[in-house]
Amino acid sequence: MRFLADAMLGKLAEWLRLLGYDTVSAADLPFVDDDYLLDIAEDEGRVLLTKDKELYQRAKKEGVEAVLVEGKDVEEQLAFLVKKGLIELREVPSLERCPRCNGLLRRASKEEVKGQVPVGVYMSHEEFWICTNCGQIYWKGSHWKRMKEFVERVKALI
């Protein structure tokens, strides 16, 4: 399943990427209007995720697969998508997609990231990943536990 999240769902797009889903965020696009979003969704075979009722209705009318996302926050929005059968809650982070740009991640050697991460991180970690698109480097830091706790809160809503 590939997604396109409208500008109101930037945080949801980030979390879908963390779960390993190929997700384009309108916030990352150079130009955004409803016509452009509908064209991208149709051309790339993406499911349009939106909170905009008018955009949702227009997408349906034009035969573009779309979901009117419910939920006041990202936890509720993810739970909604799970309940709709659109996603599964996977291991977080999936280490497949960059949460920043949607690029693919690849494992990086410790030597490769030397001088590009804080010294303390370099000394205390052995595993690193790098985005093949934007070059962002990732490691299993203290945020790892918080992300897992977040997913557990989402599961509790289902």
Q: What is the full per-residue pLDDT of the chain (158 aa) written as tens digits?
A: 999 999 999 999 999 999 999 999 998 888 889 999 999 999 999 999 999 999 999 999 999 999 999 999 999 999 999 999 999 998 777 889 999 999 999 999 999 999 999 999 999 999 999 999 999 999 998 888 899 899 999 999 99
Q: What is the pLDDT of residue 83?
A: 96
pTM over cut 0.85 = yes
Q: What is the pLDDT of residue 81?
A: 98
- Domain positions in the chain: 3-83, 105-157
Structure tokens at 55: 């955009």
Q: In angstroms, rounded to a whole number, what is the distance separating the alpha carbons of residues 154 and 92? A: 12
Nearest to 27 by CA among 12, 42, 41, 44: 12
Coil, strand or helix: which one is 15?
helix
From residue 1, give the alpha-carbon distance in Å to each of 121, 132, 155: 34, 21, 20
Q: What is the pLDDT of residue 92?
A: 75
Q: What is the pLDDT of residue 68?
A: 98
Distance of CA 80 to the CA centre of its chain: 15
Q: What is the pLDDT of residue 90?
A: 81
